[in-house]
Structure 1
């Protein structure tokens, strides 16, 4: 099996070297960058399987890097784990809303970080047991293998998070999924302030579903349901 590729974007040299050492010792292929622009350029040339991204970067901060990465067609499906010395809830929420899959607050345990990386890679590459690679409903075509959807023949790209969220909804179609359930299965997080992240991603999904937006139904006080 080919080595999984991990891109580390971290401006603190000692932390960057420590991350590289631990990741390589765990069997990953690693490249590093000390700034946001440098990191984005490296990602475009060397498509990683996962990105470790510090928030506090000079010139172009990690949140902006994440935003640009999730807007790039070739990179939007790459999972991002944010690294931050900030512990405030708002920073975690903003990172998740921009499309990050997870976050780790410094100082962190290398063992914990490796576990989070393993889980993020597993979720990103997980095969559906209940949904075929392509699922159709009227003019709506969901291609889970390609992280794509078609709305009346027009292709729409999905980010890795949108892909997992939509797959979770379709797998459970007809059943209501709570925000807590979605946070646990899609983002692997359960802190209370992240619940609005689910709502933000639902709005984005509905926008991409266009005329089929009503397929995602809000059940007030409970969560969401995919109806077809």
Structure 2
């Protein structure tokens, strides 16, 4: 079973993504901000992270950089799922180490396909 950690400060978005992924038999855990997500990674290894850019405290860019800096998670696929659709936002996300960048509102099929692509690319 695939495992995904959703990191988004909006509970409604987390619920929508969780329901989409659980329909595909994905084990899902949730965090409302970056530092909580990092703590969860201390004891649990998902196949991918779905991360919002704009969150209070540690935002998505800082979380992605922190994931890449850790020896135990440096290869963990990170997919940004965000409303920030400017080219500079996408470039910033990819420079921070994201494997993919999806926009809200998202297509459930596109989300599933992208997670499959980045997980397969990571050897998961």
User: Shorter-chain TM-score category?
Assistant: over 0.9
Q: Give the unaligned 5+ runs of structure 2.
A: none
* Superimposed CA distance per residue, residues 12-43 of structure 1 (whole angstroms, 9 cap, x where no aligned partner): 11110011111111011110011111111112
Task: Kindly tell me the number of residue pairs found equivalent between the two proteins.
Answer: 124
What SS does the corresponding residue of 2:73 show, helix, strand or coil?
Answer: coil
The CA deviation at 1:107 is 0.9
Alpha-carbon shift at residue 111 of structure 1 (Å): 1.1
When normalised by structure 2's length, the TM-score is 0.96
| Larger RCO, structures 1/2 (Cα 8 Å, 6+ apart) | 2
Which residue of 62, 84, 87 corresponds with 2:85? 87
- Aligned residue number for residue 42 of structure 1: 40
3-state SS of paired residue (1:38): helix
1:52-109 deviations in whole A, cap 9, x for unaligned? 0110111110000000010000001100000111111111111111111001011111
Structure 1: segments with no counterpart, 5+ residues: 127-228
Partner of 2:26: 28
Separation in 2, partners of 1:121, 1:80: 9
Contact 1:7–1:52 (CA<8 Å) still a contact in 2? Answer: yes
Distance (Å, rounded) in 1 between the aligned partners of 2:54 and 2:82? 7
Which entry has the higher C-alpha Rg, 1 or 2?
A: 1
Residue pairs, 1:65-104, within 5 angstroms: 65-104=63-102
Cα distance, 1:121 vs structure 2: 1.1
Cross-structure match for 2:61:
63
Whether 1:11 aligns to 2:16 is no
* Matching residue of 1:110: 108
**Partners of 1:35 and 1:99 in 2: how far apart?**
18
Asked if the contact 1:44/1:75 (under 8 Å) is kept, the reply is no
The runs of at least 4 aligned residues of structure 1 exceeding 4 Å deviation read none
Distance 2:42 2:5 in 1: 11
CA RMSD of aligned residues (A): 1.0
Question: Which residue of 2 is the match for residue 210 of structure 1?
Answer: none
